[in-house]
Amino acid sequence: MASSQAKISAPNDVSLRSLIKSGVSKRTDFPLRPSAMALLVIDIQHELTKIDEGSNAYKDAVSFPQMITNTKRLVEAVRTNRCNQDWDQGSEIIFTYLESLTENSRDVSLDYKLSGPLANLPSPVNPATFIPGIAPISGIEISLPKTS
């Protein structure tokens, strides 16, 4: 069977990387398995989306909004996939976000404390806020606060 026609699935004890043949394998040879994948959303939260007036205009005008749009599409696609599967067969969405673990931010690194606005991370008394459409569903999706 030709490579483009064969669907390859790795047994549990074989790495996917070992099955890839350079110059021969195609992306379609390795279908995604929703039960074995996760979408990791890192630090996409309101507190980190403020436009930095000294930053590159292209990043703020084009790149950043496109990243938000693409992330929303990915989150929606994974949620739709999960709804169409048995609960234990769907993909996971894992959100990590910056939030001090203490009220006085003593756990925040010196680098962040010296970085101006990042010194005032959300905290247990002032929790992180997420961008609409890119927020964890409480009790359904995994959300992990982290500090610097």
Regarding predicted confidence, which is higher, 114 or 75?
A: 75
The per-residue DSSP string of the chain comes to --TTT------TTS-HHHH--TTT--GGGS---GGG-EEEEES-BGGG-SPPTTS-HHIIIIIHHHHHHHHHHHHHHHHHHHHTS-GGGSPEEEEEEE--SSTT-TTS-HHHHTSGGGGS--BTTB---BBTTBS--TTTSEEEEE--
For residue 34, pLDDT beyond 90 = no
- Give this prediction's pTM: 0.72
Q: What separation in angstroms does the CA of 6 have from each of 16, 19, 23, 29, 147?
A: 15, 12, 15, 6, 45
Regarding predicted confidence, which is higher, 131 or 118?
A: 131
For residue 70, pLDDT beyond 90 = yes
Per-residue pLDDT of 100-115, as tens digits, reads 888 888 888 888 888 7
For residue 4, pLDDT beyond 60 = no
Regarding predicted confidence, which is higher, 134 or 91?
A: 134
